[in-house]
Amino acid sequence: MEEIVFGIGITALAGALATVAGAAEDTESDIGSQGDPNSQVQLAPQMGYIHRIFNKAVAGEPPAYGLWVALGAGLAWAFMAMQINPILAIVLGSALAVFVQGVYATTAYLGRTASLAKFGQPVYIDILKSMTTVTMAHAFVAIFTTVAMCHLMIGALGHPFPLPLLGLVWGIALGAAGSATGNPFYGKERQYQEQKFGAGVPISASGNIVRYAEAGQRNSLDNGFFSAKLGGPASGICFGLIVFFELWRTVVFEELSIWGPIIVGIVVILVFAIIDRYIEVWARKNFGPYTAPEEAST
Amino acid sequence: MSALGGPAQTGGVQPPTTMGLALSIVLIIVALALAFFLVQTAGLIALVGIIVGGVLIAFGVHFVPVGGAPAAMGQAPGIATGVAMLAAGAGLAGLFGGAWAAPFGFAVALAGGAVGGGLLMAITCTMVNVIYVFGMGIPAASGKVAKDPITGDTFPEYKSQGTEGHGLPFISWVGGVIGGALGGLGGTLIYLELLDIYQTQLPVILNATVEQIASVAISLAGIFAVGMFLMNAVLAAYNITGTIEGPHDPKFKRFPRAVIAAATASAVAGIFAIALLELVGVF
């Protein structure tokens, strides 16, 4: 019984760490325009809209976070093998991984923006100086919490994978959850804030991103401020729920039966199916159709 | 004519060419023969397991609703990320669960892997709709079909002007969960087959007990499973080319080509994974 209570505590802690990781990951990727909305940041100057938005999208979020978290986890693992205290080892490993992220962000911004020279888009050095450190700070939070979570899974819950491999697995899952949940909010609600609320962005508006803020030109720090209100926390809840349910069903129900975690997993999936269907029907009822029903054109 | 201005979407179904099929069969037979020659029956069984795992992954990726960049602007339905990336996220979460359940036997581990992958997709797909509905005020609408095959909801009137649709209709949600489950199942199957091989071979080569080599065997099998997962997911993503809404999308019919390619690639990569220790022994 005590073991289960301990396991539940660790599960809750890992879920909380994952929630922070998801929120930091999405905010970091939105400041750097690393998710799918980067296409609009890249497209805008080609359509004549010169902007001051940071853009470091030379890899998708999942592989990028797979790399950084695996790197942080691998270095932490090496430090722990050198008998360094685990907390210090995770901090050091994450800090070193963040330097790689910083180099990546710098070269990616310079490379992506320089490629737009023929459309008149300048490389703003002040943007590079002020944004890179902010993305690094958010990345540190995301990497540290994910590596700490992986360490808990091994040290306290006894997962067989070594720390770097677990870092790769959960780094990719973190990027997948963060980009899936946070990207639409950043892409539609922020980049196209001038478009109508409650409708998709018409394809004809592509590239016409919002470039002006309350005072002066908008930059990516404004975007981070905006997406930290909903996109980031929602990504955090998404990743937190994934980690929590993945651990909880095993920690609690494995004692009852070896099939327990599987049955509970299926039940949780069905519960989410009901929630999803409820949300879908709720939206159809409350928002209503855009036009009168007609036959599909395709 | 689609709203994106491209040609009418026929799904681009291209059956595999005779040359491709013949080459694939030859490569698979050669790989199976090598597996039998190097590691006897156990190698043969393991390679068949790896090929089945690879096929499950590639097939599963076709179920995952991925909208890429247009989905991030509410211009197309699906999840706003890349095909291979999302599938990898789900499949690897499944592998995490499967590897954890490995000591309880083959069936439990496989089921654990499948449920782990499905669970990640269930939560992610639900959160996508939460953001679309409560963050952006946009209802779900498919661009490829007029009616949801499961719920019967109609879509054309819920599609905002100038877009291909948006959000995740229920059929896409179900497709996502099936895709995640198949990915988790395939990844775990590859992991278990390789773990079995390494746990048999390593004690002999290193002259150690099974307990002593456990961490090395688990790490090697895990790394190869992750690698082969990514390989098959990327192959399937090339077959899909861009975005897919799920099992109701005409592009879904392209899967036979990806399945054959994944079987061949898994056979060739699998023989290196299986014969790794034999090769190390040679040097």
Contacts 24+ apart (CB under 8 A), A290-294: A290/A199, A290/B157, A290/B158, A290/B159, A290/B160, A290/B161, A291/B156, A291/B157, A292/B157, A293/B154, A293/B156, A293/B157, A294/B156, A294/B157
Question: Average of pLDDT values for A39-51?
Answer: 92
| Residue contact A280–B160, C-beta within 8 A | no
Query: How many A/B residue pairs have CB atoms within 8 Å?
Result: 307
Give the pLDDT of residue A294. Answer: 55
B231 in contact with A at a CB cutoff of 8 Å? no
Average pLDDT over residues A127-149: 95
Q: How far apart are CA A38 and CA B81, in angstroms?
A: 11
Residue B8 falls within a domain, yes or no? Answer: no
Cβ distance B115 to A266 less than 8 Å, yes or no, reads: yes
- State which residues form the domain around B187: 59-276
Q: What local confidence, expressed as pLDDT, does residue B281 receive?
A: 65
Tell me the C-alpha distance between B184 and B174, whole Å: 15
Residue by residue, pLDDT tens for chain B (283 residues) are 344 444 444 556 777 888 889 999 999 999 999 999 988 888 899 999 999 999 999 999 999 998 888 898 888 999 988 877 888 888 888 889 989 988 898 999 999 999 999 999 999 999 999 999 999 999 999 989 999 999 999 999 999 888 889 999 999 999 999 999 999 999 999 999 999 999 988 888 888 888 888 888 999 999 999 999 999 999 998 898 888 999 999 999 999 999 999 999 999 999 999 888 777 766 5
Is B269 part of a structural domain of the chain?
A: yes
| A285 to chain B: closest CA residue | B139
Contact B215 A159 (CB under 8 A): no
B223 is a domain residue: yes
The span from the CA of B182 to the CA of B113, in Å, is 9
Domain boundaries, chain A: 2-246, 256-286
Based on the structure, what is the number of domains in chain B?
1
Give mean pLDDT, residues A203-208: 88
In a domain, B134, yes or no: yes
What's the pLDDT score for residue B2? 44
Separation in Å, CA B142 to CA A75, B129, B165, B168: 45, 13, 5, 8
Task: Give the confidence band of A57 by pLDDT, cuts at 50, 70, 90.
Answer: confident
Judging contacts by C-beta atoms under 8 Å, the chain A residues touching residue B237 are none
Cβ contact A265–B124 (<8 Å)? no
| pLDDT score of A215 | 86
pLDDT bucket at A295, cuts 50 / 70 / 90: low
pLDDT of B7 reads: 47
Q: Dihedral, CA atoms, B16, B18, B24, B25, nearest 10 degrees?
A: 130
Q: Is residue B51 part of a domain?
A: no
B212 assigned to some structural domain: yes
Closest residue in chain B to residue A171, using alpha carbons only: B89
Whole-structure pTM value: 0.93
- What ipTM score was computed for the predicted complex, to two decimals? 0.94
Please indicate, yes or no, if residue B282 is contained in any of the structural domains: no
- Mean pLDDT, chain A, rounded, equals 92
